[in-house]
Amino acid sequence: MKKQLKKLEKLSSGMRLAAESWNNDWKTLISTMMSARTRDEKTIPVAEELFKKYNLKELAHANINDIKKIIKQVNFYKTKSKNIVNCAKILINNYNSKVPMSFNELVKLPGVGRKTANVFLSEFGYDAIGIDTHCAYISKKLNWTKSNKQEVIENDLKKLFPKKYWKKINPILVRFGKTYTSRKEKDILLDKIKD
């Protein structure tokens, strides 16, 4: 499995992912929230524009319609706009403007599900595996799991890989999935990696 992961990494480009390279924990979280069901290439510039106009305190008091206008290019922008404002309020009021570094606390925040919480935590060096569509597809194709369920796939991968690999799995699989957009090309490469 480790060899397969290394091969996937070598075959992938070094593109930036939505959770990466932010200078504040709240920016990492909100960008990761916005990236759900939206391509990173779309999310990153939208997040940059949002963060140019608002700091965390301003976001907590922002008009939801103003946020909608800025993030309109991301999927489910109406729901995400409400979640961003409500999440900012909770971070300020309940967590002293810091994002909690606990899975159980993160998933209590509006707009933060299992994948977002795990991707966020892995970005800050915690041993966590965020399962998105790329991870699910590649994991099944390489016979790392037989399930389609996010939590089951996550647990299957945790059994297969030592902890020190967990935080690397999502970025490697996502980069591979984004490097090869053609399903046919992706499948040919995955079949080679499997052997």
Whether residues 60 and 37 share a domain: the answer is yes
Task: Of 93, 92, 91, give the one whose Cα is nearest residue 112.
Answer: 91
pTM as predicted: 0.94
Domain that holds residue 139: 2-15+127-194
**Does any domain span residue 151?**
yes
What's the CATH code of the domain at 153? 1.10.1670.10
Instruction: Mark whether 119 and 168 lie in a shared domain.
Output: no
Cα separation of 12 and 24, whole Å? 27
- What is the model's pLDDT at position 70? 98
Eight-class DSSP state of 102: -
User: At 114, which amino acid appears?
Assistant: R
Q: How confident is the model at residue 2 (pLDDT cuts 50, 70, 90)?
A: confident
Among 95, 123, 151, which residue terminates a domain?
123
Last residue of a domain, one of 76, 105, 123: 123
pLDDT in tens, 131-189: 999 999 999 999 999 999 999 999 999 999 999 999 999 999 999 999 998 889 999 99
CB atoms within 10 A of CB 82: 15
Domain count, the chain: 2
Predicted pLDDT of residue 181: 84
CB 183 within 8 A of CB 174: no
Whether 132 and 60 map to the same domain: the answer is no
Contact 112, 80 (CB under 8 A): no
DSSP assigned state of 98:
-
Residue from 125, 126, 55 nearest 84 by CA: 55
| Cα 170 to Cα 1: distance, rounded to the nearest angstrom | 14
CA distance 193 to 142: 8
